[in-house]
Amino acid sequence: MKVSAPWYTFVHELEELFKRDAGIKVQYDEQANVVKIFVDNNPKKCDALTKLMPTEKTFGNITMKIEVVPSNNVTNEEDICQMFDDAFCGNSAYECAMPIKSLVGSFNYAVFDNRVVQFFNDNMADINGNKSMLYEDIARDVFGDKFAMFFCTTAKDKALAKPLGEWP
């Protein structure tokens, strides 16, 4: 049995997060230890991902670089929720991003599809080499705490979804 390093899990998470978007391709260069995210013909999405993605991810003493291609120059500031909407437009794993105002302040939420994703990941966590997680967990791992964004899933049954403040 082959066991892979933890950064391979991160690469698999990126691939799963973006595989439902035909305009994005994730490629890992093992020699340079760089993950490249290619964005096709959508400068707005490319700029949003450039702002959202960390430029590095550290796993112990190994640092992996992350590049968004082709555009790496962002000039104007956008609202964080709008950046997530732009980055994930056309991706059916993503529903929306929204700010929720409360008495103690405003909080941003990125809402993902409520679905368990399973992908091949040859590490010791599963003897069969599978990794199971939710899209929100993948997004939390990928984006980290770089932004004031909470990641959650949509209610599977829309009838169960209640507006904020209606819960007992």
pLDDT in tens, 103-112: 666 678 899 9
Q: Does any domain span residue 104?
A: yes
Residue 163's pLDDT is 52
In a domain, 1, yes or no: no
User: Which residue range forms the structural domain that includes residue 88?
Assistant: 6-160
167 inside domain: no
Is 120 inside a domain boundary? yes
Q: Is the pLDDT of residue 88 over 70?
A: yes
- The total number of structural domains that make up the chain: 1
Terminal Cα distance for the chain, rounded: 50
Structural domain contains residue 168: no
Beta-carbon count within 10 A of 78 CB: 15
pLDDT in tens, 25-64: 999 988 889 999 988 878 888 889 999 999 999 999 999 9
Is residue 166 assigned to a domain? no
Pairing mode, if any, of strands 116-120 and 105-112?
unpaired
Q: Are 35 and 66 in contact (CB under 8 A)?
A: yes
In a domain, 23, yes or no: yes
pTM over 0.75: no
Question: Is the pLDDT score of 158 beyond 90?
Answer: no
Most confidently predicted of 9-18, 64-73, 95-104, 132-141: 9-18
| Residue 35, domain member (yes or no) | yes
